[in-house]
A and B are shown apart, each in its own frame.
Chain A
Amino acid sequence: NAGVTQTPKFQVLKTGQSMTLQCAQDMNHNSMYWYRQDPGMGLRLIYYSASEGTTDKGEVPNGYNVSRLNKREFSLRLESAAPSQTSVYFCASSLWTGPNEQFFGPGTRLTVL
């Protein structure tokens, strides 16, 4: 039982390049989330998927797109990376949204030059 997995663990991009961060969970959870973590700040929600087939914007969605590929997988895409998107990205999942425990992946450290 791997929990929440993320790939890649590290990535360096040049400004304007695109990439997709992958996330998968094997806990049969319905809800999945993407957060970013910046120094001196807590985690901020980028997008979430309350259930398979739905996605919604979080607190900081600009510059990102997401796809809920199936119940297990939720990807985050940067179409044209900017230095302001340098951050650590976490994927999380929970049984449902609301007051349920969220389980986090190990994070992806992204640097945009």
Chain B
Amino acid sequence: AQTVTQSQPEMSVQEAETVTLSCTYDTSESDYYLFWYKQPPSRQMILVIRQEAYKQQNATENRFSVNFQKAAKSFSLKISDSQLGDAAMYFCAYTNFGNEKLTFGTGTRLTIIP
């Protein structure tokens, strides 16, 4: 069974600085997809970024980028120029073809210090 591990329950960063959230996963599949979801205090889960395992290039979305290390099964999220609105729980998630569900990590609570 696939597992997703987020080893940092909480992180904090100064506003305008850069922070990296860690995620590791375990799978025997070769073709899979990884996601980072953001859950602000409003509780609404929002997709931040997605990475296809077959792509060597790391995904980027504006200030958000990932460092995808397939051999190490690592998928970290980098947030540049942190803003107060980035404060939230961040969940790493995994799925693969033929798998109906997302497997989520336990989340990292990110605090932005003004």
- List residues of chain A with CB under 8 Å of any chain B CB: 31, 33, 40-45, 48, 50, 56, 58-59, 88, 90, 92, 97-99, 101-102, 104-107
Contacts and interface: CB of A to CB of B under 8 A. Distances in A.
A58 B99 CA distance: 11
Given A43-B91, A90-B45, A106-B44, A98 B99 contact: yes
A95 to B, nearest CB: 13
B97 A99 contact: yes
A98 B98 contact: yes
Contacts of A50: 100
Contacts, number: 59
Given A59-B101, A88-B43, A98-B97, A41 B33 contact: no
Contacts of B103: 42
Interface residues of B, number: 28
A37 to B, nearest CB: 9
Most buried by B among A43, A88, A97, A104: A43
Interface of B: 4, 9, 32-33, 35, 42-47, 50, 52, 91, 93, 95-107
B95 A43 contact: no
B91 A42 contact: yes
Given A40-B106, A45-B101, A50-B100, A101 B47 contact: yes
